[in-house]
């Protein structure tokens, strides 16, 4: 493991935004940048060799998800994978807590946004209720990037299949698995997934590389035009060094997954227990059981999220208030808004959902890090309470 965040003398609790690169992944990437630079689409010897390397990498990625290699398409990441999927359909059912790369393109077509429950989990029966004879696609993320809630994918697929059988429809199921690869079993056969987005940047690999799984005979058209790369699905020279690093990152993830899940679960339980004693007003956002083992998302009423993030950062603790790509805007988190709305049965003002922060742990997180974070949070709360109560 690359001890990057420790070397920086920071406590990094923002792994859901970005993971540091594993040292072995970095080795693979560096070697490949030197040796595998030739364009895999050319016809000379070095290119042909790289084409073989690329084909093998695709096979490796497919194996992790019990897919076939011709069902894997490399992209620039989950944003692109999600866009390819969503832009292919005109009538969609999704949830109101998806990542912006699903929500934004979905808003351009006829989409039903099913609200999640107060625990941040969507009810499969509500998905079923939203299906019509015109529905073409259901897109529900495996695990939420802000509150870590794990969605009942198998049950949702069951409802879709039942609807398809009864109504002779062919509704497909897509999942954004970006946050799930580190921790969950993502066997596309067992889960009945037709389309799946994931990336390397969240699994200790490089950013800017990801993939889309497309089940055989699923009618998906390209959205980026140019060369014939990726079997005509996605134009642009393949980033082979990054792809090889992606494969290495997947291999490591697979190897240490079970152990990491257990270790992080213990840390998560400890963190939550201590948070409860810190301040009785702290609210834990999202279901406590069906949740990624690295995620803790809390609301401290009346204290602006950004202020908490900045105060923690000043003490060397790196956290986020919401999805990193939305951190700059003024609006409250759409995910926290969604769970509070379902709690209160209506829309809320920004200030009512303020005070939420996400701690996302990872491979380098230790109990000492959590203790220091809790101590810092306690200091911040006693400082800010004077102003906000
Ligand atoms: N989907 C989810 C759930 C995410 O957490 C992210 C990144 O934070 C994305 C999609 C976008 O991924 P990328 O940065 O690879 O485009």
Q: What are phi and psi of 345, to 5 degrees?
A: 70, 30
Q: Tell me how far apart the alpha carbons of residues 369 and 204 are, in angstroms, rounded to a whole number.
A: 19
pLDDT of residue 304: 87
293 or 6: whose pLDDT is higher?
293
Active site residue 325: yes
- DSSP state, residue 333: P
Contact 122, 342 (CB under 8 A): no
- What's the CA-to-centroid distance between 279 and ligand 1, angstroms? 32
**pTM (two decimals):** 0.95
Contact 212, 196 (CB under 8 A): yes
pLDDT of residue 354: 64
pLDDT tens profile 155-178: 999 999 999 999 999 999 999 999
Q: Tell me how far apart the alpha carbons of residues 288 and 64 are, in angstroms, rounded to a whole number.
A: 28
Q: Is the pLDDT of residue 234 over 70?
A: yes
- pLDDT bin (cut points 50, 70, 90) of residue 229 is very high
Ligand 1 atom nearest to 17, measured from its CA: 8
pLDDT tens profile 36-76: 999 999 999 999 999 999 999 999 999 999 999 999 999 99
User: One fold for both 5-21+257-388 and 23-251?
Assistant: no
If you classify domain 5-21+257-388 with CATH, what class do you get?
A: alpha beta
- What's the CA-to-centroid distance between 76 and ligand 1, angstroms? 11
Domain ranges of the chain: 5-21+257-388, 23-251
Q: Quick one: tokens of 77?
A: 């990441």
CATH number assigned to the domain with residue range 23-251, chosen from the 4 options 3.40.640.10, 3.90.1150.200, 2.30.29.30, 1.10.8.640: 3.40.640.10
Atom 10 of ligand 1, residue of closest alpha carbon: 78
- pLDDT bin (cut points 50, 70, 90) of residue 347 is low
pLDDT of residue 327: 52
- pLDDT bin (cut points 50, 70, 90) of residue 340 is confident
Ligand 1 atom nearest to 101, measured from its CA: 10
Q: Tell me how far apart the alpha carbons of residues 287 and 18 are, in angstroms, rounded to a whole number.
A: 23
Average pLDDT of the chain, as a whole number: 93
pLDDT tens profile 132-148: 999 999 999 999 999 99
Q: Ligand 1 pocket: which residues have CB below 6 Å?
A: 77-79, 99, 101, 141, 145, 176, 178-179, 199, 201, 210
Choosing from 18, 19, 79 the residue with most ligand 1 atoms within 8 A of its CB, the one to mutate for a pocket test is: 79
Active-site residue, from 8, 48, 288, 325: 325
Q: Tell me how far apart the alpha carbons of residues 13 and 318 are, in angstroms, rounded to a whole number.
A: 5
Q: Tell me how far apart the alpha carbons of residues 22 and 20 are, in angstroms, rounded to a whole number.
A: 6
pLDDT tens profile 306-339: 999 999 999 999 999 965 555 555 577 899 999 9
Q: How many CB atoms lie within 10 A of CB 154?
A: 12
Choosing from 16, 18, 97, 101 the residue with most ligand 1 atoms within 8 A of its CB, the one to mutate for a pocket test is: 101
């Amino acid at each position: 493991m690359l001890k990057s965040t420790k070397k920086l003398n920071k406590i990094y609790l923002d792994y859901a935004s970005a993971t540091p690169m594993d040292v072995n992944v970095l080795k693979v990437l560096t070697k490949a940048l030197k040796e595998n630079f030739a364009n895999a689409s050319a016809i000379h010897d070095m290119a042909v060799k790289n084409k073989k390397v690329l084909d093998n990498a695709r096979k490796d990625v497919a194996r992790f998800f019990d897919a076939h290699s011709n069902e894997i398409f490399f992209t620039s990441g989950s944003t692109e994978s999600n866009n390819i999927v969503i832009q292919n359909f005109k009538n969609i059912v999704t949830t109101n807590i998806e990542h912006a790369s699903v929500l934004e393109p979905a808003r351009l077509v006829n989409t039903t946004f099913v609200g999640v429950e107060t625990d941040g989990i969507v009810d499969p029966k509500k998905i079923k209720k939203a299906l019509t004879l015109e529905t073409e696609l259901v897109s529900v993320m495996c695990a939420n990037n802000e509150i870590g809630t794990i969605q009942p994918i198998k049950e949702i697929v069951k409802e879709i299949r039942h609807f398809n059988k009864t109504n002779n429809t062919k509704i497909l199921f897509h999942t954004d698995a970006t946050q799930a690869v580190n921790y969950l079993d993502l066997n596309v056969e067992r889960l009945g997934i037709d389309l799946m987005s994931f990336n390397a940047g969240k699994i200790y690999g490089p950013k800017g590389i990801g993939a889309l799984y497309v089940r055989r005979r699923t009618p998906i058209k390209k959205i980026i035009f140019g060369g014939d790369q990726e079997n005509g699905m996605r134009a642009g020279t393949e980033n082979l060094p990054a792809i090889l690093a992606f494969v290495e990152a997947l291999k490591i993830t697979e190897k240490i997954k079970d152990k990491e899940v257990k270790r992080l679960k213990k840390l998560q339980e400890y963190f939550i227990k201590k948070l409860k004693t810190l301040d009785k007003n702290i609210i834990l956002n999202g279901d406590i059981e069906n949740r990624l083992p690295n995620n803790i998302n809390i609301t401290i009423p009346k204290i602006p999220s950004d202020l908490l993030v900045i105060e923690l950062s000043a003490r060397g603790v790196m956290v986020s208030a919401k999805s990193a790509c939305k951190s700059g805007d003024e609006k409250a988190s759409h995910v926290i808004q969604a769970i509070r709305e379902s709690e209160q049965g209506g829309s809320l003002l920004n200030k009512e959902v303020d005070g939420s922060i996400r701690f996302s742990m990872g491979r380098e997180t230790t109990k000492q890090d959590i203790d220091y974070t809790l101590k810092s949070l306690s200091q911040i709360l006693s400082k800010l309470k004077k102003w906000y109560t």
